Amino acid sequence: MAYIGLAYPIMARKRDGPEYYDGILVGKAVEAEITPNYIDTSGYTDINDLGQKKEFAYADIALTTSDLPDTARAIALGESDGVSRDRDESGLIGLGLMRTRIVDDRVTYEAIWIHQAKLWEAAGTSGTRGETVDFQTPALEGIAEPDENGEWRTTKRFGTRNEALSWLKEKAGMEGEI
């Protein structure tokens, strides 16, 4: 199995419950890293349970995109009018991504929806052009936590890119073309 390509970083504001709205495309995907973190709960089990037991605690998120539009900054960082303030705070969001999956020469598209995330701006670098073009892209960091149902991520596979994108748009409460 191999994954190639990453596309359609989508974020949306989260309502109470598993509903999302104001979904937007956040530039073009450059890189996404989702790192689940687990806590050891084997110390809280019965004396007869000898196995190691771990439970999901949260996931670290690192997302790099080609652009971070003002609307995305408002949703992800709580900013308004392009101004960063000391008390800016993001609400909970849903975050979607799509990647291409190849197994035995069969191509499918995997859509990933993070149910409940909180993001903040990562360190950024800017520089002048030297002998070669060096692109600097916006990056966000954050965490994903389980929602009120204990769910933190949904992954679905589709036969076409359009089916995967439609599912992500539906999750994000988006209408129209991207």
Could you tell me if residue 89 is inside a domain?
A: yes
Give the span between the Cα atoms of 77 and 85, in whole angstroms: 10
The pair of structure tokens assigned to 79 is 């900013």
Could you tell me if residue 143 is inside a domain?
A: yes
Q: How many residues does the chain have?
A: 178
Q: What is the DSSP string of 100-150?
A: EEEETTEEEEEEEEEEEEEEEEPP-------SS------EEEEEE---TTS
pLDDT digits (tens, 9 = 90+) for 62-98: 999 988 888 888 888 888 776 666 676 778 999 999 9
Q: Are 58 and 49 in contact (CB under 8 A)?
A: no
pTM, to two decimals:
0.85
Could you tell me if residue 49 is inside a domain?
A: no
- Low-confidence stretches of the chain (pLDDT < 50) are none
Which range marks the domain in which residue 12 is found?
A: 2-41+54-127+135-172
The pair of structure tokens assigned to 89 is 């705070």
Indicate the DSSP class of residue 44: G
Could you tell me if residue 177 is inside a domain?
A: no
The helix (H) or strand (E) run that includes residue 167 is helix 161-171
For the chain, what is the domain count? 1
Q: Are 175 and 14 in contact (CB under 8 A)?
A: no
Could you tell me if residue 48 is inside a domain?
A: no
Q: Which residues have C-beta within 8 Å of that of residue 58, sequence separation ≥ 6?
A: 36, 37, 143, 144, 145, 152
Give the span between the Cα atoms of 102 and 30, in whole angstroms: 19
Could you tell me if residue 82 is inside a domain?
A: yes
CATH code for the domain in which residue 68 is found: 2.30.110
Residue 49 pLDDT = 62
Could you tell me if residue 160 is inside a domain?
A: yes
Could you tell me if residue 97 is inside a domain?
A: yes
